[in-house]
Amino acid sequence: MPTIEERLQRLEDVEAIQRLQIRYAEVCDDGFDSDAIVDLFTPDGVWDCGDYGRFVGEEMRAYWADTARITELSLHYMANHVVDVEPSGTEATGRCYMFGAVTRGGEAQWMAVRYDERYRKVDGEWRFTEMTLRPAFMTPFERSWALPVPSGEKS
């Protein structure tokens, strides 16, 4: 059975990881500063955004700079963040959901995604080691965000 100190440390770690996630959202919503975002990851960290690409370490910098260039507005609303700290106390996994509004290339869009994440504690600070984006939808503001009916099925 874990001691009170171990249990308290685990709670503090979960809180620190949730704050890391919120910091990520804040940096995105404040203009996608590529240096600040890359700093939230370990040097070998992975940003996997599916069809948009998979970037490791410094490769992320160009992706985030391009995102900043084409994004006029971004609002990330993070929810349902679940974190599981490994027994080592230096590795963890988590997932959360994001509903957001974005304007990219002059087009307003709604988006909803799930983030699947891995974290590592480095020099006493939690960092992302992997963030995988799993989109539910990303659709123009004027259109419904309902998923399309697969071809051959009647609505």
The string of pLDDT tens digits covering residues 86-143 is: 999 999 999 999 999 999 988 999 999 999 999 999 999 999 999 999 999 888 887 7
- DSSP, collapsed to helix, strand or coil, labels residue 45 as strand
The pLDDT of residue 35 = 97
Query: The whole model's pTM is what?
Result: 0.89
Q: For residues 72 and 61, give the distance between their C-alpha atoms in angstroms, rounded to a whole number.
A: 18
The pLDDT of residue 2 = 87
CATH of the domain at 120: 3.10.450.50
**Is 151 a member of any domain?**
no
- pLDDT over 90 at 30, yes or no: yes
Reading the block at residue 52, the tokens are 């948009």
Task: Give me the number of domains the chain comprises.
Answer: 1
**Is 108 a member of any domain?**
yes
Q: Which residues touch 48 (CB under 8 Å, ≥6 apart)? A: 54, 55, 130, 131, 132, 133
Summarize pLDDT for 35-84 with one digit per residue, the tens: 999 999 999 999 999 888 999 999 999 999 999 999 999 999 999 999 99
Q: CA nearest 131: which of 9, 13, 47?
A: 47
